[in-house]
Amino acid sequence: MNDADDMATALRGLGYATTLVTDGSLDAMNEGLRQFLRDADGASAATIFYAGHGVQGNGKNFLIPGDAVVRD
């Protein structure tokens, strides 16, 4: 969570609008991404910073939400 907070603070200091989600459930992550896309519409630059866990399976990458139950 500290990495995400620090990055959001740094980007805000540079004048960027930020959408911060910490310890997000799948629903919270999806809503954060939807809000980001709405806010970024028409922007000349947009960045997503993800400080969390992810996995790769069968050549596909997945971000792990805070409420995930990973069995395999």
pLDDT tens digits for range 5-16: 999 999 999 998
**Backbone φ, ψ for residue 68 (5° rounding):** -70, 145
Summarize the confidence of residues 59-71 as an average pLDDT.
91
Question: The pTM is what?
Answer: 0.78
pLDDT at 26: 94
Name the percent of the chain lying above pLDDT 70.
Answer: 100
Per the prediction, the chain carries an average pLDDT of 91
pLDDT at 64: 92
pLDDT at 70: 80
CB 65 within 8 A of CB 25: yes
Question: How many CB atoms are located within 10 Å of the residue 37 CB?
Answer: 11
